[in-house]
Copies of this chain bind each other. A is one copy, B any other.
Amino acid sequence: SASYKVAVLSGDGIGPEVMAEALKVLDKVQTEFGFSLELNHFDVGGIAIDNHGTPLPATTLAGCEAADAVLFGSVGGPKWENLPPNEQPERGALLPLRGHFKLFCNMRPARIYQGLEGFSPLRADISARGFDIVCMRELTGGIYFGQPKGREGTGANEKAFDTEVYHRFEIERIARLAFEAARGRRGIVTSVDKANVLQASILWREVVIEVAKDYPDVTLNHIYIDNATMQLIKDPSQFDVMLCSNLFGDIISDEMAMITGSMGLLPSVSLNDKGFGLYEPAGGSAPDIAGQGIANPIAQILSAALMLRYSFKQEEAAQAIERAVSETLAAGYFSGDLYSNDAAHPVQTTAQMGEQIASRI
């Protein structure tokens, strides 16, 4: 039977706690669906700084290289916040991983689950309309990796600079994936740019328009980033797939996550052109609640489901996990982040949520 190697990078904060529940669920599906997973654990982020002096040790990178996919928890915390930016857990682990494996395609879905509209920070009549959006973010280009990047001069004229740069091929490949995704959804791609100011955005828009010609069945809209942050608040239901550069996707995907009001439910996937991927929850390491066993493990569990879908093509197993999550929520089981006084169902711990979900596979 099929067997897959997974590099498990739990990281810091709530990472290890929520990862334990994802592994519980994966354990259940592999027996049910007849494939096997070989799990290998590696340090990443703050814990790797503590144990090995660097947020992304060579052994961790080698472990990821030897794997078929990376299941990532979260990194960072107050303990490492005063290190130089380059050495901090987030920057020192996530960006090199993305760059090394050329994970250019980042997909972050955000939707309002039925029954959870009340948690959205949007006005009741807006959240009642619901929304289901995927942010397609270019993840290895733009101002994150563009050269030159640096600092020069002294005194009042000292300057620091970064380069926003996009090549035609980089825009084309992420645009193509956005249109493909839209085909399996509501058929609308909204490309986010700042073409009234940025040269990189002008090229971005041109290439997206060209790619759109191969997808006559998909509607293409363009929106400026400033307007996009407004429209997401005013009427998120208008969006289906939002196609973004690296920086704009960073902003849009976080705003999207926030307006769901249930960030603990949101998974994400970062893929390269060989289908190798890194799967991680949209939220952060939440050091304020770490170690208490109260974090919501669903984002991590759904990230594992995406791994089965995109890297291992185990669609049935992925759907089984997603169904188990929906059923658990529908049955009224919530962790503290989504809890609002339901006498019949006391607030669930991280482990209890994991068990509820695993038991429904």
Contact = CB atoms under 8 A, between A and B. Distances in A.
B121 A120 contact: no
A126 B234 CA distance: 15
A44 to B, nearest CB: 16
A198 B121 contact: no
A230 interface: yes
A166 to B, nearest CB: 6
A91 interface: yes
A1 to B, nearest CB: 41
Nearest to A90: B196
Given A149-B199, A155-B168, 8 more contacts: A85-B195, A123-B123, A157-B167, A161-B164, A161-B199, A162-B165, A226-B253, A233-B258
A255 interface: yes
Interface in A158-187: 158-169, 172
Max chain B CB contacts within 10 Å: which of A122, A127, A195, A225? A122
A59 interface: no
Contacts of A151: 199, 202-203
A134 interface: no
A203 B159 contact: yes
6 contacts: A95-B197, A122-B122, A160-B166, A161-B165, A161-B200, A234-B258
A228 B153 CA distance: 30
A247 B229 CA distance: 13
Given A122-B121, A202-B85, A254 B226 contact: yes
Chain multiplicity (copies): 2
A127 to B, nearest CB: 8
B168 A157 contact: yes
Interface string A244-257: 00010011011101
B199 A234 contact: no
A156 interface: yes
B158 A203 contact: yes
Contact of A159 (B123, B165, B226, B255): B165
A264 to B, nearest CB: 14
A196 B255 contact: no
A162 B163 contact: yes
Interface in A74-91: 85, 88, 90-91
Interface string A103-130: 0000000000000000011111011000
Interface in A214-250: 225-227, 229-230, 233-234, 247, 250
A102 to B, nearest CB: 16
A144 interface: yes
Chain B CB within 10 A, most for which of A88, A161, A168, A203:
A161
A150 interface: yes
A146 B126 CA distance: 39
A143 interface: yes
